[in-house]
Amino acid sequence: MLDFKSLNTISVGEAMVELASVGEGTYRRGFAGDTFNTAWHMAQALRGRASVGFATRVGQDRISDAFVAELAADGLDVSVIGRDPVRGMGLYMIQLDGVERSFHYWRDTSAARGLAADGDTLSRAFAGAGLIHLSGITLAILPAADRERLFATLASARANGARVSFDPNIRPRLWASMDEVRHVIPQALALTDIALPSFDDEVAVWGDTDPQATIARIVMAGVLEVAVKDGAGPVTLYSGGVIQTLFTPTVQGIVDTTGAGDSFNAGYLSARLLGQTPENAVAAGQRFSGQVIRHFGARLPKAAVPLLQV
C-alpha cells in the first residue's frame, strides 16, 4: 500500500491559452494543459484538505498575469510558477468533429520550455511534496539537459519521501523521434510510483497486445501501481501484485472528450492521497472524467465543480 508523507501535491508541466469550441465558429478563451488540468481538478476536489501547486513557467504579460491570478483565485499554490521576461504562454485551439477533437498548437516559444532550467528552483518547488505529478508532455517540451535536471531533482525528492505519478501521454509531434520516446519514457518510469498510461499510446509506441502487457512492461521498471486507461473501455489496474479489470460506466450526454484522461488522473490521485483504495481511486477517476466530457473544454466550468466527489 502506498503512503504519502504529506498531502501536498505539485504538478509539473505546461499550461497554454486554450481556444475551445462552444459552437460553430465560436471559441472561448481559457487555460489548459495536461498536468495543469489534473492539478486544477485536484485543487477543486481537495479544497481545504490538501495543497496543490502547479510548477511551470509563464511570461510577464497580461495573459500570463491573468493565468496566475485565476489559479490563485481557484485555490492553487502559485508560488512555484516562474516568470520569463521574454517568452509567453503557448496557445492551442480545439477543433471538434462530433464529440471527438483535434488540436492546433502554437507553442514553440512557450516559456514553459524553461521550467526545469534551474535545479535549485525545482528543488524548492518539490520540498515538502508528498506527491509530484508529471507527464510525457512535460518531458517532451524540455531540452535534453533540462530533462536530465528534472530527473535528478525527482530522484532527490523521492529519496526524501515524495511519491511520483506519471502519465506517459505520448504526443509524437513533440518528440524528435520515436527512438527518443523509447529512450526517455523508461527513465521516467524508473522514478515513478504510480503510472497512469493510456492504452492507445502504449500500443502505438510499444506494440502492446493488451493492457496486461502494458502493465507487465511498466512493472518491470519498478512501478508499484498502474492504472491503464482505455477510453470508454475498462480500466486495468495493477496494485499489490494483483491485476483487475474494472468496468467503466457508460456516460450520457458527451459533448467533448478533451481532458478526459487528465481528469481521470485527478480523481485517481485525489482518492489515493486521501487514503482510499486503488479500486475506489479508479471509480473516482471515472466519475471525474465522466463529468468533464459532458462539458466543452478540458476543465469543468465552475458551476459544475461540486460534482467532483472524492
- What pLDDT is recorded for position 100? 65
> For the chain, give me the number of helices (H) and strands (E)?
10, 13
Cα(309)–Cα(291) distance, integer angstroms: 10
The torsion angle over the Cα atoms of residues 72, 75, 80 and 81, rounded to 10 degrees, is -40
- What pLDDT is recorded for position 21? 73
- What pLDDT is recorded for position 99? 57
Q: Work out the number of other CB atoms within 10 angstroms of the CB of residue 197.
A: 31
Beta-bridge partners for 55: 12
Catalytic residue among 167, 193, 230, 262: 262
Low-confidence ranges of the chain (pLDDT < 70): 1, 96, 98-101
Strand 131-135 to 163-167 pairing: parallel
Q: What is the Rg, in whole angstroms, of the alpha carbon atoms belonging to the chain?
A: 18
φ/ψ of 16, rounded to 5, equals -125, 165
Cα(119)–Cα(157) distance, integer angstroms: 12
User: 88 — alpha (psi -120 to 50), left (phi > 0) or beta?
Assistant: beta
- What pLDDT is recorded for position 257? 87
Task: Check if the beta carbon of residue 198 is closer than 8 Å to that of residue 169.
Answer: yes
Q: Which domains does the chain have, with CATH numbers?
A: 9-13+37-57+116-303 (3.40.1190.20)
Cα(59)–Cα(68) distance, integer angstroms: 10
Question: What is the distance of C-alpha 274 from the center of its chain?
Answer: 18
- What pLDDT is recorded for position 287? 96
Cα(157)–Cα(128) distance, integer angstroms: 9
Active site residue 262: yes
